[in-house]
Chain A
Amino acid sequence: MAVEAPARPPKAPVPRRSGLRHRLAERGVDRVLFLLVPAVLVVGLLFVYPMLYGVGLSLQPKDGGGPLGNYTGFFRDSYERSTVWKTLRLAVPAALINVGASVPIAYRLRGRFRGRRLLTAALVLPVTLGTVLVADGLLRYLGPKGWFNRVLLDTGLADEPVRLIYNYWGVLFSLIITGFPFAFLLVLAYMSGIDPTLERAAATLGAGPWQRMRRIVLPLLAPGLATTFVLTFVLAFSVFPSATLVGEPAGETRVMAIAAYQAAFEKYDYSMASTIAVLMGVFELLVISVALLLRGRLYTGPATGGKGS
């Protein structure tokens, strides 16, 4: 159109204007973009601004010591530093267990059968319960006088009550109970995306159930498992209520979220609290990048074996 324009001087302005609009539209710039405005505003006001504000706050230590004073302070103080390890020690196993336990159950439930809906609903129920209710239940069930310990004592499997609450184990159980439904639903969705005829084809080629699982289902499921791990890990990493309620918030389950809370609302050091929050994000991103890097090495195409898919 630009080439044509000089040949017809009187009409030049019209094609040029529509030409610009045309070129913009080709790059996806048109009036439909205005639909993005509300979302951009919400994200900007409720996420980007507070986050940048928090990062800025973390660089202005209350006690001075330069912009990075809080960060060096956090790592120099062994009590604070240990929260990183305590959090990872809870979040990574919890995410791995949730993903690992979801695989066989989702594998069994992937087909159609009577009662599938009911069973799925039962497995997903804990999502609706909330952490506090789960924590309360755990305290009663796993406590020294709870069913679990009574069974152990009565059957003679243990001489004295096993301590499973107000410590690491209580928090881990709580994370598994609340995190499993998410992991299960995701894995079930990924599992259902695998074409069932692939397994049947593998069977006619001589592969038994275990071989089919290992050579066909798991490789096709692996990228989905990595994604599921990342999501459940993030959920578990920011654990706060259960670490307080069924854990030992002053000792072995003093996770980063508790440290941040104490800095903000017990020491009124918002700058330090922001620093810990920023560090939480950094460590989460580290673990997530590792998981996604591994995922990138896997086959991530469609999990169907046919034409046109």
Chain B
Amino acid sequence: MTAQTVLEKDARAAFGHLRLDGVTRRFGRATALSGFDLRIEGGEFIALLGPSGCGKSTALNCLAGLLPLSEGEIWLDGQRVDTLPPERRGFGMVFQNYALFPHLSVRKNVAFGLSVRRTGKAETARRVDEALRTVELTEHADKLPGQLSGGQQQRVAIARAIVLRPKLVLMDEPLSNLDAKLRVQMRTEIRRIHQDLGLTTVYVTHDQEEALALADRVVVLRSGEVEQIGTPEEVYTHPASAYIAGFMGYRNLLELPVLAGGGPAEAGGRVTVGNEGGLVLTGVARQPVPGPRAVAAVRPEDLRVAGPPGSTAGENVMAVRVEVSEFHGREVAAEGVMDDGRVVHFRSPERIAPGDRVALTVAPERVLVFGDGAQDALSGNGEAFEDPAAGTGARDGG
């Protein structure tokens, strides 16, 4: 990594912080992004996470200067940048389809930004070599982009952006066109380059696994508004809403009437939801639960198979009939149906077969209760996110 020392110094010195101030973008009557506030510290890795249409790509394009703002301001330290055209912002961008110049060799693609800036020949050659070495593409330097594989093209796109020592690197779903194995590899690669070069990165993705793995802070967007900002741990363990819980692995979202607790005084305390004589769940609410109904969120892996129905009684017990069971190595992922028709996802270390009747229990501190937006969390969950459970499920192993 000795070759990177020059890049490193420049990037680290680039800026203190970037501030987005009420950034709003409308398309006709539709608001794609409304009042987006964010302060990004130099050296941070920020992930903008959300389903398609949530405004994350709009936010990135506004930052890059490819879309003018309808309202709001963007400040880089003391300088206002939202009025500058993209070519004068000095931000690097990696596009979803890489946007490599098809008529230029890999070397010339990477050198493009330098030659636009009329950098000297020797300096250009040195920095291009350095960038190509960083992404391990030295031996492909003279090929055209069309002769490279998807993963290699992706690395060219990254090299082309970082060779300019940009103040800020913007990445628009850069891994979405790669196959699953390469995606995980390149993810690590992106994080490594970010750390080694001391870059500041804003990364757009719809994949919560990617966002959690890469980012220092995750910004969850929904319908153009910020839903939650926090470290990956905060977002994963304390999702701010049932909507976020839904794609952070809380695959079971059960809408139920509130039975006890949930007043403003008891915020952060226990809430009991359920039907008299039927399913009753006690869980933790971090915000007051004002309404008569609430959503209880439970991760499949927090449900424990207690035995046949009737073996346990009382609260936090669900009796289900197994509908589907999938072999996942050490455990079985199963889908069961309760008597009232609600579907429950759970795991079992023991083999269970469709048709079996089992009782499931869950510890109260593992149940999250959300009072707000009960309805739309349920209807919104899963429709736009690409298989939310699969992503978080894979995380559990590691």
Residues of chain A having any CB pair with chain B under 8 Å: 195, 197-198, 200-208, 211, 215-216, 219-220, 299, 301-309
The 7 closest A-B pairs by CB, nearest first: A306-B97, A299-B103, A201-B99, A205-B113, A305-B99, A203-B86, A204-B93
Q: Could you give, for residues 133-177 of chain B, a 1 whenever the CB lies within 8 Å of some chain A CB and a 0 otherwise?
A: 000000000001110001001000000110010000010000001
Contact B98 A203 (CB under 8 A): no
A197, A203, A211, A219: the one within 8 Å of B103 (CB): A219
B290 at the interface (CB under 8 A from A): no
Q: Which residue of A lies closest to B149 (CB)?
A: A307
Residues of chain B in range 262-281 having any CB-CB distance to chain A below 8 Å: none
CA of A206 to CA of B65, assembled, Å: 12
Contact B99 A195 (CB under 8 A): yes
Contact B102 A197 (CB under 8 A): no
CA of A195 to CA of B96, assembled, Å: 13
B85, B88, B98: the one within 8 Å of A305 (CB): B98
Q: Which residue of B lies closest to A196 (CB)?
A: B99
Task: Give the chain A neighbours of B86 by CB distance below 8 A.
Answer: 200, 203-204
Q: Which residue of B lies closest to A303 (CB)?
A: B102
Residues of chain B in range 50-107 having any CB-CB distance to chain A below 8 Å: 64-66, 85-93, 95-103
A198, A204, A211: the one within 8 Å of B101 (CB): A198
Contact A307 B66 (CB under 8 A): no
Contact A299 B102 (CB under 8 A): yes
Given contacts A304-B97, A307-B153, 17 further A-B contacts (CB under 8 A): A197-B95, A202-B116, A203-B87, A204-B66, A204-B93, A205-B92, A206-B164, A207-B87, A215-B112, A216-B101, A299-B102, A299-B103, A301-B103, A301-B144, A306-B97, A306-B98, A307-B177
Task: Give the chain A neighbours of B88 by CB distance below 8 A.
Answer: 206
Q: Which residue of B lies closest to A309 (CB)?
A: B97
Q: How many residues of B contact A (CB 8 A)?
A: 35
Q: Which residue of A lies closest to B86 (CB)?
A: A203
Dominant SS among interface residues on chain A: loop
CA of A220 to CA of B104, assembled, Å: 10
CA of A201 to CA of B86, assembled, Å: 9
CA of A201 to CA of B90, assembled, Å: 12
Contact A301 B97 (CB under 8 A): no
CA of A307 to CA of B182, assembled, Å: 14
| CB within 8 Å for A207 and B116 given contacts A197-B97, A305-B100, A306-B177 | yes
Task: Give the chain A neighbours of B87 by CB distance below 8 A.
Answer: 203-208
Contact A200 B97 (CB under 8 A): no
Q: Which residue of B lies closest to A199 (CB)?
A: B99
Contact B65 A302 (CB under 8 A): no
| CB within 8 Å for A307 and B97 given contacts A200-B86, A203-B65, A207-B87 | yes
Task: Give the chain A neighbours of B145 by CB distance below 8 A.
Answer: 305
Residues of chain B having any CB pair with chain A under 8 Å: 64-66, 85-93, 95-103, 112-113, 116-117, 144-146, 150, 153, 160-161, 164, 170, 177
CA of A203 to CA of B92, assembled, Å: 10
Contact A305 B177 (CB under 8 A): no
Would you list 5 pairs from A and B whose C-beta atoms are within 8 A, ordered by A residue? A198-B102, A201-B99, A206-B164, A219-B103, A303-B102
CA of A23 to CA of B184, assembled, Å: 46
CA of A202 to CA of B164, assembled, Å: 13
Contact A302 B102 (CB under 8 A): yes
CB distance from A40 to the nearest CB of B (A): 36
Q: Which of B95, B103, B153, B161 has the most A CB atoms < 10 Å from its CB?
A: B103
A205, A208, A211, A307: the one within 8 Å of B98 (CB): A307
CA of A198 to CA of B66, assembled, Å: 12
CA of A301 to CA of B101, assembled, Å: 11
Q: Which residue of B lies closest to A223 (CB)?
A: B103
CB distance from A55 to the nearest CB of B (A): 41
CB distance from B216 to the nearest CB of A (A): 23
Q: Which residue of B lies closest to A306 (CB)?
A: B97
CA of A308 to CA of B177, assembled, Å: 9
CA of A306 to CA of B91, assembled, Å: 21
CA of A195 to CA of B103, assembled, Å: 12
CB distance from B286 to the nearest CB of A (A): 40
Contact A204 B177 (CB under 8 A): no
Q: Which residue of A lies closest to B61 (CB)?
A: A200
CA of A202 to CA of B161, assembled, Å: 10
CA of A57 to CA of B64, assembled, Å: 68
CA of A24 to CA of B236, assembled, Å: 63
CA of A302 to CA of B147, assembled, Å: 12
CA of A305 to CA of B101, assembled, Å: 6
CB distance from A218 to the nearest CB of B (A): 10
CB distance from A242 to the nearest CB of B (A): 38
CB distance from B86 to the nearest CB of A (A): 4
| CB within 8 Å for A304 and B95 given contacts A205-B112, A205-B116, A205-B164 | no
Task: Give the chain A neighbours of B153 by CB distance below 8 A.
Answer: 306-307
Q: Which residue of B lies closest to A304 (CB)?
A: B102
Task: Give the chain B neighbours of A207 by CB distance below 8 A.
Answer: 87, 112-113, 116
| CB within 8 Å for A204 and B64 given contacts A197-B95, A219-B103, A306-B97 | yes
CA of A305 to CA of B64, assembled, Å: 19
Task: Give the chain B neighbours of A299 by CB distance below 8 A.
Answer: 102-103, 144
